[in-house]
Amino acid sequence: MVECVIKENKKDGVKIRTASVDDKYMASVADNEIYDNGRSGIYAEKRRVSFVDNFIYENDGDGIDISAGSQAWVEGNKLKKNNKSGMKLTLDGSYIWTKNNTFYENEREGLEVNAYGGSGRIDINKSKFYKNEKYGIVKVKRDDFSNSILNGLTIQSDVIFWENKQGNIK
């Protein structure tokens, strides 16, 4: 999906259904404006996905929500004023790389990373988190497991934070 305006849906703006994480099943969403949807701007079930250069704002849920077990490339997106988090990711079984995204003025966190006890990798690079209502990034343990699982989340030194109301990273 390229160069579309996706707005005013009662549920998710874009919903990507489960498929194999093989390259041939990759779903790509690029250069779109996605706003004012009843749930998330983009909701992706387990799959290989690529989200590049989208402006995702003022959705009733999260800007982007990617399920466990996914493989994702997320680059150059602007996530603004979503009623929940700018982006919500699940660590378990996922391999997610992000670069040059901007998370600002979301009603919760810029980025919420959930973990249920399975290993995975999420890498945050060259991104900006500012003026979110709670934290820039929050790590949420959804079960009782070793904190070392959360080492799968890497926040590079080139990530910038400012004026997140409750703090930068929790």
- Are 106 and 133 in contact, with CB atoms under 8 Å apart? yes
Domain 5-165, CATH homologous superfamily name and number: Single-stranded right-handed beta-helix, Pectin lyase-like (2.160.20.10)
At residue 2, the pLDDT reads: 93
Does residue 148 register a pLDDT over 90? no
What local confidence, expressed as pLDDT, does residue 156 receive?
96
Given the structure tokens 């343990």, which residue do they identify? 141
Q: How confident is the model at residue 113 (pLDDT cuts 50, 70, 90)?
A: very high
**pLDDT for the residue numbered 26:** 97
As given in the structure block, the two tokens for residue 71 are 């493989």
Predicted local distance difference test score (pLDDT) of residue 11? 97
- Picking from 2, 1, 74, 62, the residue whose alpha carbon sits closest to that of residue 37 is 62
Cβ neighbours for 25, distance < 8 A, ≥ 6 positions apart: 19, 47, 48
Distance from the Cα of residue 133 to its chain's centroid? 16
Contact 100, 128 (CB under 8 A): no
pLDDT at position 107 is: 98
Segment 35-59 mean pLDDT: 98
pLDDT given at position 108: 98
Q: Average pLDDT in the 119-128 region? A: 98
Q: What is the pTM of this model?
A: 0.96
Parse the chain into domains and list their residue ranges: 5-165
How much is the average pLDDT of 8-29?
97
Mean pLDDT of the chain: 97
Measured CA to CA in angstroms, residue 43 lies from 3, 70, 147 at distances of 18, 12, 27
Per mean pLDDT, which range of 52-66, 81-95, 135-149 is the poorest? 135-149
pLDDT for res 147: 86
Across 45-74, average pLDDT: 98
